[in-house]
Structures are given as C-alpha cells and as structure tokens.
Amino acid sequence: MVARISELERATRKRDDIAVETNPDQMDDIQRAAERDLAIHNIDRESRELRKARAALRRMDHGAFGVCEECEEEISLKRLGAIPWASLCIACQEALDDTSREIRTFSHALLGNAA
C-alpha cells in the first residue's frame, strides 16, 4: 500500500495536463478541453484514492484496519486483497452505493421538474 501511495502522490502532482492553452484552431481547443477534463477527472480520482490509502494506514496504526467503519464487523480478506484501503465491508458499501444512487436519481428528477 505504501508503494501505491507514492505512485498516487506522484500522479497528483502532475498538473501539466490541466493547463489552459489557447489555440487559433477551434477544433484543437475542443480537443484540448476534452483532454483537460479527462486529466482533471483522473487527478480527482487519484486524490480520492490517495486519501483513502492514507486513512487505511492510520487505521493500521490505531489497530482498526480491516474493521468496517459502519457495522464494525471484519472486512473480508478477499475484499481487502482487492481494495486494501476499503473502510467498509461489502454489505455496508453496497448500502452506501444504493443510497448514493437513490440520491442522484432523486436529484435528477428534481432538476428535471424544475426546468
């Protein structure tokens, strides 16, 4: 996990891909904007993963690694093998994902009705 943290720290420092450059060719500007959006998305994803990995190291230091933060049951070794920084067991993660999906659906419905 420490190696992954180092890799993520290097990746999140690479911000050259999000620099705004103007070009006389509108198609080049559109292409560059799409590339910039992708780079921003990647940096955001890597930053979130880095925060989760650092939090997992803190849980290790405090003896709480491998314990679900929601239900306090043990997180399966299979899950930790796949996602070493997991802070929730599968059941709690699925419940969180379902809730998030419901909130997004509700928000889209509200925004759609407001238009």
Residue 72 lies in a domain: no
In a domain, residue 85? The reply is no
- Report if residue 37 sits inside a domain: yes
- Residue 75: what residue type? I
- Classified as helix, coil or strand, 22 is coil
What is the distance between the alpha carbons of residues 108 and 115, in angstroms, rounded to a whole number?
Answer: 11
User: Would you say residue 106 lies in a domain?
Assistant: no
- Tell if the pTM clears 0.75, that is, is over it: no
Number of domains observed in the structure of the chain: 1
In a domain, 14, yes or no: yes
Token digits for 91? 């059941």
Task: Flag whether 18 is in a domain.
Answer: yes
Burial class (CB in 10 A: 0-12, 13-18, 19+), 68: buried
Position 80 in a domain: no
Look at residues 98, 103, 71, 104 and name the one whose alpha carbon lies nearest to residue 87.
71
Average pLDDT, integer, range 74-102? 95
pLDDT, tens digit, 9 for 90 and up, residues 24-80:
778 877 888 888 899 889 989 999 999 999 999 999 999 999 999 999 999 999 999
Asked if residue 48 belongs to a domain, the reply is yes
Whether residue 87 contacts residue 56, with contact meaning beta carbons closer than 8 Å, is answered with yes
